[in-house]
Amino acid sequence: MRLPAIVIILISTLIIGLSIKVLLNEYFENDNLTSSPAINLQDSGSNNTLSESDNNPTPSLSTPAAIPTPSKSPATTSPNNPTPSPSINAEYVDVYVTYYGWHDNDPSGNKIAYPKKYFNEAKHDTAGGKGTYDDPITFASDKELFEVGTVLYVPYIKKYIVMEDQCSTCEDNYDDGRKHIDIWMSSNDDYEDELYECQRYWTRNKTKVEKDPPKNREVNSKPLFDKENGECLNSI
């Protein structure tokens, strides 16, 4: 029996469709076999999987190391002001220093052997002086050792003195090779015992004095002996 033409067409179309399906399935299966397998980054052990947040990492807010505060510089201590060294050109003499006053002057009182009215180099007509450069204190000695009018500076009492009087003991000592000066200690007819005690207190067997000193040496204006109350200055 001969099939109608329409049936033949439908059967042919079905067969062609099945063939195409088979071919397509074979194609895709072959394509999957030849393609590279997908790499599982999560399982590879490299731990390189990047999330969205990994592409824009948020910087860590670690606390910066503290900036060390510099230690304080040691306080500069002003050095004590030492006594200026003597001038290189200064001339110093080692002398024996004693003191005399109203009671042991010869004659007693304040008369001097080389007053200004007879010796222009002298500063006073009677024993006196404040110990400054312009008003030095009278001292006695041998004229062969110190000429009349010679000005000395005595560091240990911080006073200027001037040669204006004679001292017989100083002359004897100079003949024996000992340089001796006898400095006037401000006094009057009162407090004789206190005066002698003060004279002994300030006596020095050997000390340096400066010849022809400059006018800027330090001066202590206090008298060694206060003739008004008999008190002796204990320190400079």
Q: Tell me: the pLDDT tens digits for 15-27? A: 777 777 666 666 6
Total domains, the chain: 1
Residue range of the domain that includes 116:
91-232
CA separation for the pair 147, 149 (Å, rounded): 6
Q: Is 61 among the domain residues?
A: no
Position 96 in a domain: yes
Cα 28 to Cα 108: distance, rounded to the nearest angstrom = 150
The owner of tokens 């560091």 is 155
Residue 181: both structure tokens together: 């000066």
Per the model's pLDDT, the better-predicted residue between 38 and 228 turns out to be 228
Report the C-alpha gap between 99 and 196 in whole angstroms.
Answer: 9
Q: Is residue 228 part of a domain?
A: yes
Is 76 part of a structural domain of the chain? no
Report the CATH number at residue 143.
Answer: 2.40.40
Distance CA 17, CA 187 (A): 155
Q: Which of 63-72, 146-155, 182-191, 224-233 bottoms out in mean pLDDT, i.e. has the lowest?
A: 63-72
Instruction: Report whether pLDDT(186) > 80.
Output: yes
**pLDDT classification of 14: cutoffs 50, 70, 90:** confident
pLDDT for res 10: 73
**Where is average pLDDT lowest: 10-19, 59-68, 168-177?**
59-68
Contact 202, 222 (CB under 8 A): no
Is residue 65 scored above 50 in pLDDT?
Answer: no
Q: Which carries the bigger pLDDT value, residue 230 or residue 13?
A: 230
27 part of a folded domain: no
Please write down the HEC assignment for all residues of 30-60: HHHHHCCCCCCCCCCCCCCCCCHHHHCCCCC
At residue 25, the pLDDT reads: 67
Sign of CA dihedral 214, 219, 224, 229: positive
Segment 119-146 shows an average pLDDT of 98
Strand boundaries in the chain, DSSP class E: 91-100, 137-141, 151-154, 159-166, 180-184, 204-211, 225-226, 231-232
pLDDT at 62: 42
In this structure, is residue 178 part of a structural domain? yes
Quickly state the pLDDT bin for 120 (edges 50, 70, 90). very high
Residue 51 resides in a domain: no
Phi-psi region of 87 (alpha: psi -120 to 50; beta: other; left: phi over 0): beta
Answer whether residue 21 is part of any domain.
Answer: no
pLDDT given for residue 189 in this prediction: 96
Residue 11 has pLDDT above 90, yes or no: no
pLDDT at 33: 47
For residue 98, list its beta bridge partners.
182
**8 Å CB contact between 233 and 223:** yes
Residue-level pLDDT at 26: 67
Which pLDDT score, from 0 to 100, does residue 47 have? 43
State the pLDDT confidence band at 140, using cuts at 50, 70 and 90: very high
* Range 91-118 average pLDDT: 98
Mean pLDDT of the chain: 80
pLDDT for 6 equals 73
